[in-house]
A and B are shown apart, each in its own frame.
Chain A
């Protein structure tokens, strides 16, 4: 969609999905059906209006230590300029209509309409639907997030092999392209579905909901959702999972929790993977854990090596505890429903006995 940054929506493909609006099915030589929607609303031209980039106060500023920050500026900077965000002179230049930055009804025929809606409200509502479905079926859903190459898929393969026979594990794989990861999971005998996000950089609740419908994970199963390898974008999109688990490998930097705080803040567990390589790389485990706890004081950490097996039993224990909790919660809600039904039945019987 956007030729500069390469991002965009509406190009999602869920393996074998059909029946969506504006859907185009392609049958590949190997029999895989890809269906994706095209963005008809935006057929032409990629000439962006760059007016907004000539912003009065630049967001980039250089720190004393040489670090360049390009995000929203700090408080004191803002106050130093002594003007609010309403004072955007370029509005007149570029759009030539309305009083510049007018933010009051009555100055023109324009009306202000209160909206007050969360931008991610729709995704959050769909995530709540997924969460309800998981609860009703006692499914323990985990959203695995990491940067590319941290070893998520290998970790999953080893996990499925180890827990086979004890738990049904069903997998949703998110990648921009290819079904390589789902193929690797299917080779273990587990059920897996690939979602290709096309130009998208993360899975969202709608994609997962559709994938769950197709996969139909059995009651009491474990659903592993391997998100797109990206430590930024998947952080904000709730999928309805019980927990986010962030995988960080020791071949990356120990400062990643500070560089990508959103992801570490939202994760319940950090798996520090590839610890068998610690003798060969410069990675300070204690520092990494300290950084992770700075952004998330409650985060649990397990050091693992998916290939050598170190620490994996603790990770399996974490999954089994979650799966059991989900199953018990479902059992309790079933028991509560049964009790309520019995109570209603006795009330009906009492009422019937009062009839002449």
Chain B
């Protein structure tokens, strides 16, 4: 359950941004979470609801945009879709894959008043 630590990092970034922008309140927080990242979105939502209290983001919605996984297949010499780590290349069945997208964990933007 490292999602609690991640949620605390999120709220730090959000509160810092809100302060710099002189926001009265934070309405929504937009995250980009890759499908291959080590984050369980529902656990992150749960943790975010805990850490947001008593701050400017206490009533903020959490919006999670999931990004698809992709990898470079050494055998095919091309980019392929990857739904999960440890899965084979959908074209040739090789495991010689280098993940190129889908492991992002970013705070994209926030909506403030």
Contact surface of A with B, Cβ cutoff 8 Å: 1-2, 4-9, 41-42, 48-49, 52-53, 55, 59, 70-72, 74-75, 78, 84-86, 88, 91, 95, 97-98, 101-103, 105, 109-123, 200-202, 204, 232-233, 235-237, 257-258, 261-262, 265, 291, 293-295, 297
Contacts and interface: CB of A to CB of B under 8 A. Distances in A.
13 contacts: A7-B2, A7-B4, A48-B46, A72-B41, A86-B63, A110-B27, A112-B111, A112-B112, A113-B21, A115-B109, A120-B6, A232-B38, A295-B95
B46 A75 contact: no
Interface string B10-24: 101110010001010
Given A48-B46, A74-B83, A233 B8 contact: no
A160 to B, nearest CB: 29
B111 A115 contact: no
B92 interface: no
A9 B112 contact: no
Of A70, A116, A119, A295, most buried by chain B (CB within 10 Å of CB) is: A119
B101 interface: no
Contacts of A48: 46, 49-50
Contacts of A72: 33, 35, 40-41, 66
Contacts of B4: 1-2, 5, 7-9
A236 B5 CA distance: 11
B53 to A, nearest CB: 6
B37 to A, nearest CB: 8
B108 interface: yes
A113 B38 contact: no
A293 B95 contact: yes
Interface in B24-81: 27-28, 30-31, 33, 35, 38, 40-43, 45-47, 49-51, 53-55, 59, 61-66, 68, 81
B9 interface: yes
Main secondary structure of the interface of B (DSSP, over half): mixed
Nearest to B13: A117
Contacts of A200: 5
Contact of B50 (A2, A120, A237, A295): A2
B46 A53 contact: yes
Given A233-B5, A295-B86, 19 more contacts: A2-B50, A7-B2, A9-B8, A52-B46, A53-B45, A75-B83, A85-B64, A105-B111, A109-B113, A110-B111, A111-B111, A113-B110, A117-B107, A118-B106, A119-B6, A121-B9, A202-B5, A237-B2, A294-B95
A97 B86 CA distance: 42
Given A71-B40, A118-B105, A122-B12, A233 B2 contact: yes
B85 interface: yes
Given A53-B46, A110-B27, A41 B54 contact: yes
Interface string B82-113: 01111010000001110000000111111111
Contacts of B13: 115, 117, 119, 121
Contacts of B110: 112-113, 115
A293 B85 CA distance: 12
B2 A294 contact: no
Contacts of B64: 85
Contacts of A110: 27, 111-113
Given A201-B1, A201-B2, A2 B47 contact: yes
Contacts of B113: 109-111
A103 B63 contact: yes
A258 to B, nearest CB: 5
A113 B17 contact: yes
B65 to A, nearest CB: 5
Nearest to B12: A122
A115 B112 contact: no
A118 B59 CA distance: 22
B40 A235 contact: no
